[in-house]
Structure 1
Amino acid sequence: MIFRKLRLAFLLLLGLFLVGCTVIPVDQGKDPNPGDETFDPDDDYDKLTLDEIKAIIKAKIPEIAPEKLYLPIGIKDSSASISWRSDSEQIDIISGEVTKGAKDTVVILTAYIRFHDQTYVMDIPITVKGVELRPLKTKNVISGYFFDSKYFAISDEMASQIDVINYSFATIDKTTHKLNLNGLYHLSEVLALREKGIRVTLAIGGWGADGFSQGVRTKEARETLINSIMETLRKHQFDGIDLDWEYPTSTVAGIAAHPSDKANLTLFVQELRQAMDSYRDDLLLTIAVIGGSSASSFYDIPGLVPYIDFFNIMTYDGGTGTVANHHTNLRPTAKQNTSVVSAANVYLSLGVPKEKIVIGGAFYGHRKTFTTVFDGILYSPTTPSGTLDYTTIKNTVLTDPSYQYYFDEEAQAPYLSNGTYFISYDDPVSIALKAQYAKDNSFGGMMFWELGSDKSGELLNAIYQVFKD
């Protein structure tokens, strides 16, 4: 008897609960467009006409696209359902993400309205405002590579001092010949720097990155790779491409190579330039090139010149042997010919116009361990002991009293030693001397590897102070 009374009370309460309950659509509370809701496809009532539905949909699409756009999939008091298509990758209809280009763009959103077993199509224009990029200079350009794993939020002052960021690295799938951006975890943050006027290009390749040789070997492979690059440019609105193939025709670091690499690279660059220009006439196409006398072994420089905006000469990692020498010195010495000046002269002799030459600075140092120390320290026998970011050199090594600072006037380059280790690097003095050399010779400018290795901004500022006048 007690059980029956309890059961009756439970059913009574359940009935009262169901009578007062309202079914809430899953997306309600998340959608900022009041009145949108999801629908039961069996709903057979409609309080709105098709024209009223179209008017409501149109009213929900702003004239200017916000950072994130919410597209209605249904209208209150109607069984109509709506699906969407965009004629531009600048608006992702799935996520609602809006990507700004270099100029204002009118995007056509197409609404497919399913109503009373019929599909009606309506096009709605929406303007995606462009970012205001700073005018690109023809000389004294400051560009820097930004390696994703060393990303940090740069200050407004640093942002005001850099013209181009080469976001590093996308890679090439050696089988499909398509771009892979999987390692670029800070893509949205880096692209957001465009709002500060910085041009952000996508750097492809890097040390030990395979896929170039396979990707440019045939016309079909090049077409696939170029289509993938262009799709990426359109989707993310990069301001250009930097090619970092280390190195054509070489199997260094275990990458694939072919005797035709040099010729195929030229064909690829020519075809890529044509595709880029047909999309946007302000896109940069740059290339990172070896900083030594062997340039003509890897590149058809005269063939590349008409299509490349800047040759980013990697004038660092020059002293990687087994003696204590400089890795990024400005001038050659009696015992070391590799230098910024030597490398620049090689490219000038091969026909690169001076306004397309961009010399390199290093925001890191090479450390070596002495095996024997001669009186002069420099050129003593050593073994390599890795690299150090400038941040570490500044905060840890330079504050260590066991280290002695030296400046080689002949090479115009600093180095450090504590009797056990030798460190070759760029400091504000040497990097400013490089900038002055580039400025005095009317070169295109200066680049560096890499931005995240000097969080203080000290080295970037040293370049900027020379170039700003």
Structure 2
Amino acid sequence: MKRLRQLAALGPAFLALLGGLSPAAAQPLLTGYWADWTAADLPPESIDMTRFDIINFSFGIPTPSFDVTFNSAQSTVLLQRLVAAALKAKTGTRVVLSIGGWISSQYFSAAVATDASRLTFARNIYKVIQLYKVDGVDMDWEYPGSAGSGNPFTPSDADNFQIFLKTLRQVLGTSAIITVTVSHEPWDGASGQPITDVSITASAIDAILIMN
């Protein structure tokens, strides 16, 4: 149980929006975060893949040039080991790269601000997905329209992020998994209140992960 708690430390609810991840739409999925800094206690090869539909590798980090980097070179080695372990298990477990997180969301607002930046960011995410052979990406921006841990933000973040997700789907195609990690309410809009229309997001992504 200790290892299971390590892997699913956030205790999230993960809900499929479309049919691509589950035999029936809107079914819960069992997922967990596996962070590169936990490798000494929980090597990827020791994870019981039968317990998980999706494992999110934490974290890819957005850069000022709208690229994606990692904590260290060792992080990418661990990501490759996680992908290999999931394939070896033959359980159908998918590995998704989670981008952002609490301390690495400072460049999201700029990355989704314009058509040009959105396309650059999406194309760079595609390159990372192809390079490390992951099944998709989880966008963990904490948070659009608010500072989170002190990050830059604008009133247009929520609208821009939805447009970005549409662009990301166009760039990645229909086979890649796209998920978003959210709080218990939609993102803050221009009014400072949670937005009420998330239809663009719903049409672009496969599932949402609700933090608690």
TM-score (norm 1): 0.36
Maintained 8 Å contact 1:171/1:205: yes
1:177 partner amino acid: F
Q: Does 1:201 pair with 2:96? A: yes
Q: Deviations over 1:182-238 (max 9, x none)?
A: 442512211212312321011000003211001000111111111110111111111
1:217 partner amino acid: A
C-alpha deviation, 1:157, in angstroms: 7.2
2:200 alignment partner, SS class: helix
C-alpha deviation, 1:257, in angstroms: 0.3
- Residue segments in structure 2 that go unaligned for 5+ positions in a row: 1-19
Structure 1 stretches of 4+ moved >3 Å: 154-157, 292-300
Maintained 8 Å contact 2:143/2:187: no
Map 1:11-26 → 2, pairs under 5 A: none
Identity %: 29
Aligned residues: 177
1:190 partner amino acid: L
Maintained 8 Å contact 2:101/2:140: yes
C-alpha deviation, 1:156, in angstroms: 6.3
Map 1:234-313 → 2, pairs under 5 A: 234-277=130-173, 281-292=174-185, 297=193, 300-313=197-210
Partner of 1:147: 35
2:86 partner amino acid: R
* C-alpha distance 205-293 of structure 1, shift in aligned 2 (>3 A): closer
Maintained 8 Å contact 2:44/2:85: no
Map 1:129-144 → 2, pairs under 5 A: 136-137=21-22, 138=24, 139-144=27-32
Map 1:31-180 → 2, pairs under 5 A: 136-137=21-22, 138=24, 139-151=27-39, 152-153=42-43, 158-173=48-63, 175-180=64-69
Q: Does 1:213 pair with 2:105? A: no
Maintained 8 Å contact 1:213/1:256: yes
Q: Does 1:229 pair with 2:117? A: no
* C-alpha distance 158-256 of structure 1, shift in aligned 2 (>3 A): same
Maintained 8 Å contact 1:289/1:295: no
Maintained 8 Å contact 2:21/2:206: no
Q: Tell me how large the CA RMSD over aligned residues is.
A: 2.2
With a CA cutoff of 8 Å and minimum separation of 6, indicate the structure with the bigger relative contact order: 2
2:112 partner amino acid: V
Indicate the structure (1 or 2) with the bigger Cα radius of gyration.
1
1:176 partner amino acid: S
Distance 1:188 1:307 in 2: 27
TM-score (norm 2): 0.76
C-alpha deviation, 1:181, in angstroms: 2.3
C-alpha deviation, 1:252, in angstroms: 2.5
Distance 2:198 2:164 in 1: 14
Distance 1:257 1:216 in 2: 11
Distance 1:179 1:230 in 2: 10
Distance 1:294 1:215 in 2: 17
Distance 2:187 2:148 in 1: 14
Distance 2:141 2:161 in 1: 9
* C-alpha distance 149-266 of structure 1, shift in aligned 2 (>3 A): same
Partner of 1:407: none
Distance 1:230 1:293 in 2: 26
1:312 alignment partner, SS class: strand
Partner of 1:192: 84
1:178 partner amino acid: D
* C-alpha distance 150-157 of structure 1, shift in aligned 2 (>3 A): closer
Q: Which moved more, 1:177-186 or 1:251-260?
A: 177-186
1:165 partner amino acid: I
Maintained 8 Å contact 1:247/1:298: no
* C-alpha distance 259-292 of structure 1, shift in aligned 2 (>3 A): closer
C-alpha deviation, 1:292, in angstroms: 4.4
